[in-house]
């Protein structure tokens, strides 16, 4: 509004003052035709954050403008806000989203303006300029620093495992006792000391990519606080524990159990390969067994995205399960997971490693000679293990289609295997759960009332708990008739 019009309206006693003034009239800044001073106009044109804050602090000067003027100013504010947020994303590693079309249609206090003219809310704009702490931004976006689900929403039962960066706990949801999960807690200090930030982020990314599958542990949520990272995962609903503990207590396994376990592993490995993932760390300790004896693969710390047909050359994995190509530092592909499966099944059947590598301390110490077929194995099982563990790639079983067609799995319905219709441990008449795991749970049953909130600074806050279905209601497991 021009100065002449402003003086005319001021002189009228019947109309209120249009622009409330905190300064004497003679010091008032001149406004242009859109209700903005030269300083505000320059601020919008330059797109500076400080100018944005000045505009927000003076929004009362446009509250009573005509609709056309408010619309033009709102468009300019939205443009300025988008530009400022973009600058923050590049310079300060912010992860705030530009204001959405829905929020840009709100009024000054989050409500729609009565005459239908809309502009961005200054309150929502001002909240985006705060920087994210460096120790939190390192793990974004895989580990959000603001999440609906946090560690305060669960009660710790007992510890079920340990890893390089922390521990895994069995937890129960506070608002639904049926919600039992595995919560992995990793210390940021240990991750940083080992320069493993990208490794833990890659692990989460891969598990999210794999999604829900019968024999792969599902990842539900990830988040972080000041000192820890958290991963809420599916837990095996049974007392069996990991495959290493079951084998230690009940090994060696009969051939019928090896057949069904081998089929379940083959389905899991093929699923990961079809989704462009090479696992690289298949071993007894990374497999959990549920109450019916079915497998659940966990710990994707060494997994990697790799397209079928491509190769990688990183030397990694557990030495005793490492394929010759990995140990030699040569390029290798998805087939090394099938070698690890051969080692695992050989251990379950014979209680020993297929090659004399039990005491190896470095990949250069591994030897791949003096292999002999287990004397107690049938002809089909013996040939299956021989070809899985063959040093020559031309003879080795390297693909699911070839493994699926092997005589050892003749008569196996792999679709029924994926539906968990047959229990691998049903052939053990004495199997009623993992002895070690049951005793561990009984000794730690007093921890059922301990809460995770005692481990952290923040106090528990109520929330609307999510209801995530994770149980597999499969038909009753029965021994497979071969």
Binding site membership: which residues? 184
Backbone dihedral region for residue 329 (phi beyond 0: left; psi -120 to 50: alpha; all else: beta): left
Q: Which residues contact 12 (CB under 8 A, 6 or more apart)?
A: none
Q: Using an 8 Å Cβ cutoff, are 103 and 120 in contact?
A: yes
User: For 448, what's the count of Cα atoms within 13 Å in the CB-facing half-sphere?
Assistant: 8
Pairing between strand 241-242 and 287-289? antiparallel
* Burial of 255 from C-beta contacts in 10 A (0-12 / 13-18 / 19+): middle
Give CA–CA dist 234/245, Å, rounded. 19
**E-strand stretches of 188-292:** 219-224, 228-233, 241-242, 277-278, 287-289
Cis peptide bond prior to 263, omega within 30° of 0: no
Count of residues in the chain: 482
Cβ neighbours around 205 below 10 Å, total: 18
Among all residues, which ones are annotated catalytic? 281
Q: How would DSSP label each residue in 71-85? A: HHHHHHHHHHHHHHH
Query: Angle 336-350/379-388 helices, nearest 10 degrees?
Result: 140
Q: What backbone torsions phi and psi does residue 300 show, to the nearest 5 degrees?
A: -105, 30
Distant-in-sequence, close-in-space partners of 142: CB < 8 Å, separation ≥ 6: 200, 201, 204, 205, 222
- Binding-site entries for ATP: 184
């Amino acid at each position: 509004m021009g100065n002449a019009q402003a003086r005319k309206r001021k002189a009228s006693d019947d109309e209120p003052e249009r622009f409330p003034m905190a300064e004497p009239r003679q010091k008032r800044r001149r406004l242009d035709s859109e209700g903005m001073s030269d300083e505000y106009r320059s601020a919008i044109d330059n797109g500076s954050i400080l100018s944005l804050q000045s505009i927000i602090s003076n929004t009362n000067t446009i509250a009573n403008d005509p609709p056309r003027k408010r619309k033009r100013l709102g468009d300019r504010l939205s443009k300025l806000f988008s530009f400022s947020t973009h600058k923050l994303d590049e310079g300060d590693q912010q992860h705030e989203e530009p204001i959405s079309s829905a929020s840009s249609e709100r009024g000054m206090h989050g409500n729609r303006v009565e005459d239908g003219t809309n502009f961005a809310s200054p309150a929502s704009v001002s909240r985006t300029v705060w920087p994210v702490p460096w120790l939190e931004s390192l793990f974004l976006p895989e580990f959000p620093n603001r999440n609906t689900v946090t560690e305060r929403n669960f009660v710790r039962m007992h510890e079920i495992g340990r890893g390089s960066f922390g521990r895994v706990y069995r937890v129960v949801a506070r608002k639904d006792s049926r919600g039992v999960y595995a919560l992995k807690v990793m210390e940021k200090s240990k991750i940083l000391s080992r320069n493993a930030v990208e490794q833990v982020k890659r692990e989460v990314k891969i598990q999210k990519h794999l999604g829900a599958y019968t024999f792969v542990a599902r990842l539900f949520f990830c988040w972080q606080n000041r000192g820890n990272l958290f991963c809420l995962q599916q837990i095996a609903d049974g007392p069996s524990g990991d495959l290493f503990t079951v084998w230690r207590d009940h090994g060696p396994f009969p051939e019928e159990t090896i057949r069904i376990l081998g089929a379940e592993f083959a389905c899991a490995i093929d699923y990961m390969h079809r989704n462009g993932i090479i696992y690289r760390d298949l071993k007894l300790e990374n497999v959990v067994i549920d109450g019916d004896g079915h497998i659940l693969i966990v710990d994707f710390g060494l997994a990697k995205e790799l397209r079928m047909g491509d190769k990688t050359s990183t030397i990694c994995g557990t030495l005793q399960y490492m394929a010759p190509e990995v140990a030699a530092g040569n390029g290798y592909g998805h087939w090394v997971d099938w070698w690890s499966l051969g080692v695992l099944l050989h251990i379950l059947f014979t209680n020993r490693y297929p090659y004399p590598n039990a005491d190896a301390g470095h990949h250069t110490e591994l030897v791949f000679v003096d292999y002999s077929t287990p004397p107690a194995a049938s002809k089909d099982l013996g040939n299956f293990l021989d070809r899985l563990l063959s040093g020559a790639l031309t003879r080795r079983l390297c693909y699911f289609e070839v493994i699926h067609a092997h005589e050892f799995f003749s008569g196996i319905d792999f679709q029924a295997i994926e539906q968990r219709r047959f229990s691998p441990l049903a052939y053990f008449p004495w199997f009623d759960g993992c002895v070690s795991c049951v005793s561990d749970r009984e000794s730690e049953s007093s921890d059922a009332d301990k809460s995770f909130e005692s481990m952290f600074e923040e106090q528990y806050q109520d929330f609307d708990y999510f209801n995530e279905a994770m149980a597999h209601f499969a038909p009753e497991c029965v021994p497979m008739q071969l």
